[in-house]
Amino acid sequence: MIKINPYLIFNGKTEEAFNFYKSIFGGEFRPFQRFKDLPEKDREMANFDKKEAEKIVNIGLSVGDSGLMANDTMESMPAKVGENIFLSLEVDGKEVAEKFFTRLSEGGKIHMALADTFWGAYCGMIKDKFGVGWVVSYAYPKHKS
């Protein structure tokens, strides 16, 4: 079996972002490590500034059978989060789609409101308050003719 987990990079907002995502999806953090928790030899290799010790070096959030992973970047290497990627969140009902869409759009920007689409889904697109793009979609059941 092959499993793909999106990996996000934040500029010092990983912990805040993942607490936000956990409040929406539930799940558990596995792993959860800060730069200060790295073994000494890895801290030297990473060459991070001591003021960045509390930043997240590795975090995972289980979400159903999949999950999200992320880390903070160092100030010396800023990242443009979400510029060219949207995470696809497929759910099993319109009400569920509306719930996640509403929560993820809090403080963010709606790019396409939730609506019925020509491809047979109830779908919408947003960028959340952390700049991460989301496609929230419920695929209508196919009817046999």
What domains does the chain contain, in order, with CATH numbers? Answer: 7-72 (3.30.720), 86-139 (3.10.180.10)
Whether residue 53 has pLDDT greater than 80: yes
| Coil, strand or helix at 123 | strand
For the stretch 109-121, pLDDT in tens is 999 999 998 888 9
Weakest mean pLDDT among 81-85, 95-99, 117-121, 136-140? 81-85
Name the pTM for this structure: 0.75
| Predicted local confidence at residue 145, as pLDDT | 57
Please give the average per-residue pLDDT across 76-104, as a whole number: 85
**What is the Cα–Cα distance from 106 to 134, expressed in whole angstroms?**
12
Paired tokens of 66: 């999949």
For the stretch 13-31, pLDDT in tens is 999 999 999 999 999 998 8
Paired tokens of 46: 């990473």
